[in-house]
Chain A
């Protein structure tokens, strides 16, 4: 029986990888993929907690998180396409209108 701590450590590592990708990559597509990675680490915590507590609500939450992730990916990629069409780049160093 693998204890929940193993799953938590793995999820923490995945979340840190996603955080690094969001913070340090300049490609907007890579940023979106890193967000998917972070969402997946949260899903892993939900499922392992659901098994630990003997409660199925966690798995239902994962269902909803996957739904929201699908919506987020769709809208995010549409925004990437619109930005690329307008400015010809997806580099976050050039997309800085809102940076002030």
Chain B
């Protein structure tokens, strides 16, 4: 019962924060609600006994990614008229309708085919007796997923180099007036 209460309060707050991230007019407010969203999700992960993922969520997402967003928001210092007007055009509405239809199909599948409690070998009790969530996740990560783990480190290296190259300042020539006019008028 207490777990359901926890879930419903967290889920309500997550839904509220998600709506606020999308609808808020100021990017700083959006980023702060995004932090709230990520923390609440970490709480949900912890309630599902995924403690390692909960810790990683807080460390990486709330600690690194959103701080990066904050830095860029502060760096750009957008004028108020550049902030967040909503645009509505036909292709976007079409894509949105397709998404909603896809989710309706998924919901129908959920209603008609209830997922039963299929339990593999890694139940909560088995994990606890094997040394805890972090230990077991580490065992899976460093045995079965060793090569993807190494590739992930290569990916991070590539991303670092790409970020530095893209954001580097020594562009030989900036946009000319003709460039800007062409850009503004399509």
Q: From known contacts A60-B140, A81-B72, infer whether A66 and B87 are also in contact, taking CB-CB under 8 Å.
A: no
The docked-state distance in angstroms from the alpha carbon of A42 to that of B103 is 13
Q: From known contacts A26-B86, A81-B75, A85-B169, infer whether A40 and B110 are also in contact, taking CB-CB under 8 Å.
A: no
Residues of chain A within 8 A (CB-CB) of B117 are 52
Give a binary string over A1-30; 1 marks a CB under 8 Å from any B CB, 0 the rest.
Answer: 110111111101111111111011111011
Q: What are 8 A-B contacts defined by CB distance under 8 Å?
A: A2-B4, A6-B11, A13-B18, A18-B22, A25-B86, A34-B21, A54-B126, A62-B53
Q: Whole-angstrom distance from the CB of B39 to the nearest CB of chain A?
A: 11
The docked-state distance in angstroms from the alpha carbon of A48 to that of B175 is 49
The docked-state distance in angstroms from the alpha carbon of A94 to that of B81 is 13
Q: Which residue of A lies closest to B20 (CB)?
A: A17
Residues of chain A within 8 A (CB-CB) of B159 are 70-72, 74-75
Q: Which residue of B lies closest to A80 (CB)?
A: B72
Chain A-chain B contacts (Cβ-Cβ < 8 Å), number: 227
User: Which residues of A are at the interface with B, using a C-beta cutoff of 8 A?
Assistant: 1-2, 4-10, 12-21, 23-27, 29-30, 32-34, 36-37, 40, 43-44, 47-48, 50-57, 59-60, 62-64, 66-75, 77-82, 84-87, 89-97, 99
Q: From known contacts A47-B48, A84-B76, infer whether A32 and B69 are also in contact, taking CB-CB under 8 Å.
A: yes
Q: Whole-angstrom distance from the CB of B24 to the nearest CB of chain A?
A: 9
A21 touches B15 (CB 8 A): no
Q: Whole-angstrom distance from the CB of B16 to the nearest CB of chain A?
A: 10
In-complex Cβ contact of A26 among B38, B87, B95, B156 (8 A): B87
Residues of chain B within 8 A (CB-CB) of A73 are 65, 68-69
In-complex Cβ contact of A23 among B95, B126, B152, B186 (8 A): B95
B141 touches A23 (CB 8 A): no
Residues of chain B within 8 A (CB-CB) of A64 are 145, 148, 152
The docked-state distance in angstroms from the alpha carbon of A12 to that of B14 is 12
Contact residues, B61-98 vs A (CB, 8 A): 61, 64-65, 68-69, 72-73, 75-76, 78, 82-88, 92, 95-96
Residues of chain B within 8 A (CB-CB) of A9 are 107
The docked-state distance in angstroms from the alpha carbon of A86 to that of B45 is 41
